[in-house]
């Protein structure tokens, strides 16, 4: 589903990605962990076509995005990728239902199709009775679940999440993490999640460790709780 070969990226003199190769299969839930400044968000943004690498190639959902012109990128992004950020970034003047429908409109769906899909997602997320609430009338966990529904409305093959549970309390965190697995099982999405949350990383299918712009070879990773070398 995601195939990355030899990508590098610098900001000025700072080389943030130093040659990344990564393959993520359809339906995998993968976490990316590592110290601040390791390049995790930059990698996620490049997978999500919010940024371009200086060199190397990125294929997502069978499309070589490195080859897409700038004006085709936003259409690609809207159809193939859903984003979930640490802070929900819902539009305050719109209801939960409307917030979820907006990306569907942008993708060219009609009102009734967008509404039906948004209602289906709200139902699946246990938020049907919150459809007409505005973000400031929702709890933190509810807002983040609406943000997940918004990411899913165009049925993207890939969901990219950057610290998705970073602003949630323990109970809401656990519910959000479970939701990723429920969504994968129901809709078959592939998830790439940048996180500092060890509990989340521990339950994902695979954890990728990044340091100083490189992926750590799996055989050299040592868990802090286990002095023996572990395979991830
Ligand atoms: P992480 O997500 O692992 O904390 P980031 O990918 O956010 O790391 O950042 C890696 C490095 O790149 C950091 O030193 C950060 O300051 C720098 N960086 C990220 N984005 C930009 C940018 N747009 N311009 C300049 N420097 C950036």
For the chain, domains (ranges, CATH) are: 2-90+156-231 (3.40.50.300)
CB 160 within 8 A of CB 81: yes
39 CA → ligand 1 middle, Å: 6
8 CA → ligand 1 middle, Å: 13
Strand order from edge to edge, sheet including 2-11: 14-24, 2-11, 55-60, 63-64
User: Looking at this predicted complex, what is its ipTM?
Assistant: 0.96
Nearest residue by C-alpha to atom 24 in ligand 1: 11
40 Cβ below 6 A of ligand 1: yes
Pairwise CA distance, residues 161 & 136, whole Å: 22
13 Cβ below 6 A of ligand 1: no
Radius of gyration over alpha carbons of the chain, in Å?
18
19 Cβ below 6 A of ligand 1: no
In tens, the pLDDT along 122-165 reads: 998 889 999 999 999 999 889 989 999 999 999 999 999 999 88
**CA 2: distance to chain centroid?**
13
In tens, the pLDDT along 30-88 reads: 999 999 999 999 999 999 999 999 999 999 998 999 888 888 888 898 889 999 987 77
CB 118 within 8 A of CB 105: no
Per-residue model confidence (pLDDT) at position 64: 92
DSSP per-residue letters across 35-90: -TTSSHHHHHHHHTTSS--SEEEEEETTEEGGGS-HHHHHHHHHHHEEEE-SS---
Per-residue model confidence (pLDDT) at position 228: 46
In tens, the pLDDT along 149-205 reads: 999 999 999 999 999 888 888 888 888 889 899 999 988 999 999 999 988 999 999
131 CA → ligand 1 middle, Å: 36
| Residue 81 β-bridge partners | 158
> pTM (2 decimals)?
0.89
Residue 224 has pLDDT above 60, yes or no: no
177 CA → ligand 1 middle, Å: 26
Burial class from Cβ neighbours inside 10 Å (0-12, 13-18, 19+) for residue 93 reads exposed
């Amino acid at each position: 589903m995601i195939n990355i070969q030899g990508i590098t990226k610098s900001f000025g003199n700072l080389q943030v990605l130093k040659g990344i190769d990564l393959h993520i299969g359809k339906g995998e839930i993968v976490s990316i962990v590592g110290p601040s400044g390791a390049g995790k968000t930059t990698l996620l943004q490049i997978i999500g076509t919010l940024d371009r690498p200086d060199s190397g190639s990125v294929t997502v959902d069978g499309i070589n995005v490195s080859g897409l012109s700038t004006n085709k990128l936003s259409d690609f992004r809207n159809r193939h990728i859903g984003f979930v950020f640490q802070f929900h970034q819902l539009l305050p003047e719109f209801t939960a239902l409307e917030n979820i429908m907006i990306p569907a409109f942008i993708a060219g769906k009609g009102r009734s199709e967008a509404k039906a899909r948004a209602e289906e997602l709200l139902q699946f997320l246990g938020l049907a009775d919150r459809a007409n609430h505005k973000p400031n009338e929702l709890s933190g966990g509810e807002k983040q679940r609406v943000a997940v529904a918004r990411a899913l409305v165009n049925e993207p093959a890939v969901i990219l999440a950057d610290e998705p549970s970073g602003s949630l309390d323990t109970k809401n965190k656990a519910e959000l993490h479970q939701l990723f697995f429920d969504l994968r099982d129901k809709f078959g999405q592939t998830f790439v999640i940048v996180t500092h949350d060890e509990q989340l990383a521990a339950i994902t299918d695979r954890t990728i460790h990044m340091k100083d712009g490189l992926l750590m070879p799996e055989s050299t990773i040592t868990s802090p709780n286990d002095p023996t070398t572990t395979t991830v």
